[in-house]
Amino acid sequence: MATFDLQYKELIRDILENGYEDTNRTADKSKKVFGKVIRINLAEEFPLLTLKHTGIITLTEEMRWIYQIASNNVEWLQERGIKIWDEWRLKDGTIGHAYGYQVGKYNQVTNLINTLKNDPQSRRMMIDLWNVADLDKMSLTPCMFNHIADVNDGKLNWHTTIRSSDTPLGLPYNVAQVAVMVNMIAQVTGLQLGELMIVITNAHVYEQQYEAIKEILNREPYPAPKLWLNPDIKDFYDFTIDDVKVIDYKYHPSIKMRVSV
């Protein structure tokens, strides 16, 4: 059952019907709601949205770019036909000291994986991209900025915080890419899959998206697809795009909407 789709549909409805409308960082007005939580049992569901097509290759490669390659160089994505970061590319080809730069600067993923293997009851298993000292060196400050791991009875649970979520465009990709990463980390640490909790401070829909996203409310979810990872991979850094596949993904058509920059 696609429980993520049901939660997503209700979130869209809540924003459109009850959201607070005001100005924001961009030139586009938006409606927003405060403090929303999405919870998914990853042992039972891979949360790839079926209410509209969500590209597994794009979201997986972006996840690898940030957390595995630990890069801030937009050219790495462009070489793979991914242009979602082009708007924030600086003259040096990077996004400044943002996202992957912070992962690599402090070896954050390696440290987390080592702690999961050697001290799984630690309360300090975290990836944090919000480095106050470097915020003015980022072309875009991180929206999905914090991840915390927790292990109960051999199950890897994961808490992700998104301070600001473009719910129609960004959220489906963020939820699925975190789920891919957690599946990978669980596999290489020998842990079972537990619960994924996504906490969103500001969930919004931009005014140019209002009419288009209403189509979501008229659609019924398909069964959730399954995620396949190459079982031979034992090191997080060895995963390539060829080691990730989605099985039985049935989805509604894409909905074209403009990104607010």
Backbone angles phi, psi at 246, to 5 degrees: -110, 130
- pLDDT, one tens digit per residue, over 75-127 is 999 999 999 999 999 999 999 999 999 999 999 999 999 999 999 999 999 99
Is residue 242 very low, low, confident or very high in pLDDT (cuts 50, 70, 90)? Answer: very high
Domain ranges of the chain: 3-19+31-61+107-240
Task: Give, in order, the Cα–Cα distances in Å from 81 to each of 25, 74, 75, 241.
Answer: 28, 11, 10, 13
Q: Please state the pTM of the whole predicted model.
A: 0.96
Q: Please state which of the four CATH numbers 3.90.1150.10, 3.40.30.10, 3.30.572.10, 3.40.50.720 is assigned to the domain occupying 3-19+31-61+107-240.
A: 3.30.572.10
Is residue 1 very low, low, confident or very high in pLDDT (cuts 50, 70, 90)? Answer: low
pLDDT at 257: 73
pLDDT at 26: 75
* Both structure tokens of 178: 């975190």
Residues forming a β-bridge with 41: 195
* Catalytic member of 143, 184, 186, 193: 143
117 is catalytic: no
DSSP H or E segment with residue 201: strand 192-206
